[in-house]
Amino acid sequence: MTTKLFFSIVLLCIGTFLQEFFLSHLALFQVSPDIMTIFIVFIAITVDQKSSTSFGFAAGILTGIFSGNMGLNMLARTIEGFIAGYFHIPEESHATARQKTRKFYVAILAAGFFGHAVIAAGYNPLGLTPAYRIFILGFLESLFTLMLAVILNWLFLRKSFAD
Amino acid sequence: MPKFFTLFFKYNNYLLFVVYCSISLLFIKLQNDDTLENLRTGSIEFSAAVNEKLTNIMYLFNLDKENERLMRVNTDLLTRVLNLETTAADERNRSKILTDSTFNASGFIMARVVDRKFSDRENMLLINAGWKNGIKKDMTVLVPEGLVGRIIAVSEHYAKIMPVINTDFKVSVVSDSSNTMGILSWNGGQESIAQIEHVPISSPLKLNEHMVTSDFSTFSTRGIPVGRVVRITPDKLFYTIDLRLAVDFSSLTQVLIAPLKIEPEKAAIANESTLLEQLP
């Protein structure tokens, strides 16, 4: 349990680093894929809602330090973790790998969209209209994050969603 | 009390969420607090430092591409500079000819030397004007300084010049002061020195006399400067005369082509002896 927790914290730090120094440079139409959402959803799917909410909160602190909007990031990530918790797959579940993967992707879309909506509602550096930044950019960011999740799933996470 | 704990454990997900949200909202409210401000400043500095290091690393990886790009830019700039310099030099030479007050260039065709073949025996020049520009075979080529040569072949856009410094070139010359006549030729070797043949030993030719083309020439108009006498060596019957040519062939870039000398009557009388008898 402690090893798993330690491993998750290390992953959280690596994810923050990647997000801040690499993925944020891949912005297209003002949005970039969010590896932190993938991480939070992965925790929610494989562990439980409480953990995902807590990790979301922690991820919010870390990304908030770099972005300068600590409170808003904490709130958005906490909501992401909490929403993703509803997609948790219990260990005793008989779901197939395909079903688990699909749930993982839907959770990313849902959590990503709401997380982005919270940040977009509280912070508007580009002076865009609320509808545009919440719905259009929110949808785009969730889509980019989903694409990154598909790649990561294909490369690393397939084992975790095995039957 | 047990009921409270049962409720707490049952809904602890929500409670945790509420607690985290409350803390987050508190942070939003204290956004401009000094401690948070310092934390933010520190994180920006850290972030900038890491970004700088990463940029440096990426720059090292992209050095090949950067070098290639700079090479392309250099090539492009060099081409532009060369083009500009060439155009400027052409323009300078052109205006030098046109502004020469001692020489009237109207009626002459101006052309640029585009190729030259220099060796110790054969020298040929190629100009960028051909029959489309009105160039014809046997036209005289000159510059304000003096005679350059004659046109020996013409294509649509180019013409070949046999310069004075060609062993096959011959032109009749005359001294502008003593009226001594001779045939100018070039025997190879030094490109600035030509020779004058058939000058009798009795002629009053002196050193530094200027030679110009004479009326005897079949292609050249008279009076075009050719050079200056620099050495006179007496032989049995004729002088061997060295002439320093007026034109510097090593720096020849622009030339003028004089209109063709048309003297059909002169040619006819020179070749047809019966013509004289027919005239009154």
Residue in B24, B43, B44 closest to A78 by CB: B24
Please give the single-letter amino acid code of residue B277.
Answer: E
Q: What is the mean pLDDT of residues B177-194?
A: 86
Q: Which long-range contacts (CB under 8 A, 24 or more apart) does A155-161 make?
A: A157/A42, A157/A104, A158/A97, A160/A42, A160/A46, A161/A97, A161/A100, A161/A101, A161/A104
The answer, yes or no, to whether residue B104 has pLDDT greater than 70, is no
Q: Give CA separation, B11 vs A2, A73, A77, B6, in Å.
A: 25, 24, 20, 9
**End-to-end Cα spacing for chain B:** 156
pLDDT tens by residue, B5-25: 676 667 788 989 999 999 999
Are the C-beta atoms of A32 and A21 separated by less than 8 Å? no
* Residues B254, B148: Cα–Cα separation, whole Å: 11
B15 CB within 8 Å of a chain A CB? no
Q: Which residue has the tokens 């020439």?
A: B217
CB contact under 8 A, B40 and A65: yes
* pLDDT tens digits for range B19-52: 999 999 999 888 878 888 788 778 777 877 887 7
- Average confidence score pLDDT of chain B: 82
Tell me the C-alpha distance between A57 and B21, whole Å: 9
The topology (CATH level 3) of B109-261 is: Thrombin, subunit H (2.40.10)
User: Across the interface, do A71 and B43 touch by the CB < 8 Å criterion?
Assistant: no
Q: What is the pLDDT of residues A145-155, one digit of tens each?
A: 999 999 999 98
Please tell me the distance in Å from A66's CA to the nearest CA on chain B.
6
Count H helices and E strands in chain B, helices first. Answer: 6, 12
Burial of B194 (0-12, 13-18, 19+ CB in 10 A): buried
Strands B225-234 and B140-143: unpaired
* pLDDT for res B8: 66
User: Is B35's Cβ below 8 Å from some Cβ in A?
Assistant: no
Q: How far is CA B6 from the centre of its chain?
A: 97
B28 touches chain A (CB under 8 A): yes
Residues 6+ apart with CB under 8 A from A96: A163
